[in-house]
Amino acid sequence: GQSLEQPSEVTAVEGAIVQINCTYQTSGFYGLSWYQQHDGGAPTFLSYNALDGLEETGRFSSFLSRSDSYGYLLLQELQMKDSASYFCAVIGDNTNAGKSTFGDGTTLTVKP
Amino acid sequence: ETGVTQSPTHLIKTRGQQVTLRCSSQSGHNTVSWYQQALGQGPQFIFQYYREEENGRGNFPPRFSGLQFPNYSSELNVNALELDDSALYLCASSLTSGRFGQETQYFGPGTRLLVL
């Protein structure tokens, strides 16, 4: 099976940097994705790591270490609109019959 | 916007009824996954379709079934609705290739189902 753990809540101030960690257990997966979800909305794709290392997309960066079963999402220059839930997810490979698994989400609150 | 569309946006049904939800994939994508998201939880994987065949299934009973059509659009059917089926139903499309496997998924806006 697959499981992912991430902190339930994180609070930071506007302009700061915040890191949301994700540890996982899986027998095989294609990559680690990160999604943002505002209340009532659908998950929006933020970043994807198929390989180990850092991927940077504007204010958002994501990191993956397969040897440590660990990844993180880094949000820089926080803005009030970044207040949302953030989910890490693995896309299972053929050993997991294409099954995708999401973490329970991290609620980020950005304060002025 | 992702280019993934879902219909209807909202739906109210009564217990025991049947429902069909629809999803159109993003252009160029050949894989569709369906998720159920209850309030305050992460999306739970229902099943995935690749080239019109079911390619993986989560822990959902057989009354949850699906189809994928030649144009890669998809349907989710739920029979004998229960109160606990009330949730946001999301479809996500992605590209699966022989070289890179399955790439990341892009979600549609979802269908909010209320079962009374």
DSSP per residue, chain B: --S-EEE-SEEEE-TT--EEEEEEPPTT--EEEEEEE-TTS--EEEEEEETTEEEEE-S--TTEEEEE-TTS-EEEEE-S--GGG-EEEEEEEE-EETTTEE---EE---EEEEE-
Q: Do A48 and B102 touch (CB under 8 A)?
A: no
Measured between alpha carbons, how far is B54 from B75 in angstroms, rounded to an integer? 12
pLDDT in tens, B50-98: 888 988 888 999 999 999 999 889 999 999 999 999 999 999 998 887 6
**Which residues in chain B have Cβ-Cβ distances shorter than 8 Å to A46?**
none
- pLDDT (0 to 100) of residue A30: 83
**C-alpha distance from A10 to closest chain B C-alpha (Å):** 15
pLDDT in tens, A85-110: 999 998 877 666 667 889 999 999 99
- pLDDT (0 to 100) of residue B38: 92
Closest Cα in chain B to A5: B42
pLDDT band at B2 (very low <50, low <70, confident <90, very high): low
User: In this complex, which of B55, B90, B101 lies closest to A30 when CB atoms are compared?
Assistant: B101
User: In this complex, which of A43, A50, A100 lies closest to B45 when CB atoms are compared?
Assistant: A100
User: In this complex, which of B43, B48, B102 lies closest to A43 when CB atoms are compared?
Assistant: B43
- pLDDT (0 to 100) of residue A10: 97
Flag whether pLDDT at B103 surpasses 80: no
A43 touches chain B (CB under 8 A): yes
Measured between alpha carbons, how far is A16 from A18 in angstroms, rounded to an integer? 7
pLDDT higher at A30 or B76 = B76
**% residues pLDDT > 90 (chain B):** 66
- pLDDT (0 to 100) of residue A94: 66
Flag whether pLDDT at A52 surpasses 90: yes
- pLDDT (0 to 100) of residue B50: 87
A33 touches chain B (CB under 8 A): yes
Average confidence (pLDDT) over B22-49: 91
Q: Do A92 and B56 touch (CB under 8 A)?
A: yes
- pLDDT (0 to 100) of residue B76: 98
A103 touches chain B (CB under 8 A): yes
Average pLDDT over all residues of chain B = 91
Instruction: Please report the sign of the dihedral spanned by the C-alpha atoms of residue B46, residue B50, residue B54, residue B55.
Output: negative
Tokens in use for A66? 């397969």
